[in-house]
Amino acid sequence: MSFQQGLSGLAGATKNLDVIGNNIANVATAGFKQSRAEFADVYASSLYGAGGVQVGIGTQVLNVAQQFTQGNISLTNNPLDVAINGDGFFRLNDQGAITYSRNGQFHLDKDGYLVTNTGLNVMGYTDLTLDVNNNVIGAATLGNIQIDLNDLQPRATSTMDLVLNLDAGVPLPLKTTAAFDPTSPSTYDFSSTLTVYDSLGVDHALTLYYLNTADAAASSTWSVFAYLDGTGAGNQLDLGAAGAPVYHDLVFDNTGTLTAGTATTSNQPYAVAPAQNLTIAFDFTGTTQYAGDSGITGVSQDGYSRGRVVGVTIDENGIVNGRYTNGLTRPLQQLVLANFRNPNALVPLGNNQWASVSETGSEVLNTPGVGIAGAVQSGASEDANVDLTGELVNLIVAQRLYQANAQTIRAQDQILQTLVNLR
């Protein structure tokens, strides 16, 4: 007579209760993935087999399978909290040992490194390639993400893009009888003042004056004059071609389209001591001449003053952006996500971490939203994927199974007692 079946059932039920209890205990653990105990029956080995009369000798826990389903995403008040929406794991550096996690509750340490609550470094691409509009077009060098907390150095304005509409219905000014004078509004039709910066980050007021001049019926010409920090003769920028007048002409056809004069550069560098001299290239592409009020519809320039970091945000592509006191936002570094062919083979290490082994397959690194990697959401965290109601029901079933296996042992004991008591 054997107690093996009942004992194996008790062992399996105990393991199942442990798994369920662990799931319930981690309901509030961000990024936690629930597990499930999977069982298999056990038969004694036989040289030739026993056909249909063989009785099993119990059960065994074959596997504790992790369930990598998506957890709910909850909003937080920390802009450095990051939730993964889809597949992938954050790549962490534990003093050279690489681990993985779904818990994106991050913060900055004293050196500006992005770290987890346990102090592990979050990894990503540390060298970004930006286009002229500061959009990320490339990323390289996998390493620990560190935010540069130093000031953003000032940059002198060298290019200015302007898009505006000049009123086609304004009467021609008195240019033929009165010379252009920036202090006399009757000698020009429209003006706009913009801010530019020198190499020391000092801001300067750049005022552009637009004058509609008489021309052939098929086209219209507007002359553009530029003054910096005042309207004196010494404040005027030379926008004309070499040997030509100091103003720049914008020529429109009879459909209001700019056909000539889309770009110009100030010929003589403008002195703004003690900073470096300013030379500004203007681009008027997209400017039109239609009836209606004259006005600027778009302006951008590449200069800015010194700025200090006042905040860090992470967008859906994992790009870590720094916000500065001068109003600028600059991409700094970018998160990466790791994927595996067999994530169920990842070995749990505790502290919301997993380690890869040969059974998981090679890691595949992508930036968020690229390839098989999911997107990320800043200011949010992924909840545990534990269904508490379901786990409580599973707990009741597991408890009854434990009691039932205990009853088989009790029945075996009673039968054995009966045999012992035979006379």
Could you tell me what percent of the chain has a pLDDT over 90?
Answer: 55
Higher pLDDT, 419 or 153: 153
Average pLDDT over all residues of the chain = 88
163/288 same-domain check: yes
Domain count, the chain: 3
116/208 same-domain check: no
CATH assignment at residue 282? 2.60.98.20
Question: What SS3 string covers the chain?
Answer: CCCHHHHHHHHHHHHHHHHHHHHHHCCCCCCCCCEEEEEEEECCCCCCCCHHHCCCCEEEEEEEEECCCCCCEEECCCCCEEEEECCCEEEEEECCEEEEECCCECEECCCCEEECCCCCEEEEEEEEEECCCCCEEEEEEEEECECCCCCECCECCCEEEEEEECCCCCCCCCCCCCCCCCCCHHHCCEEEEEEEECCCCCEEEEEEEEEEECCCCCEEEEEEEEEECCCCHHHEECCCCCCCCCCEEEEEECCCEEEECCEEECCCCECCCCCCCECCEEECCCCECCCCCCEEEEEEECCECCECEEEEEECCCCEEEEEECCCCEEEEEEECEEECCCHHHCEEEECCEEECCHHHCCCEEECCCCCCCCEEEECEEECCCCCHHHHHHHHHHHHHHHHHHHHHHHHHHHHHHHHHCCC
138/255 same-domain check: no
Q: Is 50 exceeded by the pLDDT of residue 420?
A: yes
Q: 287-309: per-residue pLDDT in tens?
A: 999 998 999 999 998 899 999 98
pLDDT at 24: 94
Domain end marker among 274, 301, 328: 301
- The pTM of the full predicted model, rounded to 2 decimals, is 0.75
Q: Is 80 exceeded by the pLDDT of residue 167?
A: yes
Q: What does the pLDDT average to over 194-210? A: 94
178/240 same-domain check: yes
Q: What does the pLDDT average to over 383-406? A: 91
**pLDDT class for 175, splitting at 50, 70, 90?**
very low
167/253 same-domain check: yes
198/208 same-domain check: yes
369/416 same-domain check: no
166/285 same-domain check: yes
CB 37 within 8 A of CB 6: no
| Parent domain of 166 | 159-301
287/370 same-domain check: no
107/147 same-domain check: yes
164/297 same-domain check: yes
262/344 same-domain check: no
Higher pLDDT, 240 or 330: 330
Q: What does the pLDDT average to over 342-370? A: 93
Q: Is 60 exceeded by the pLDDT of residue 216?
A: no
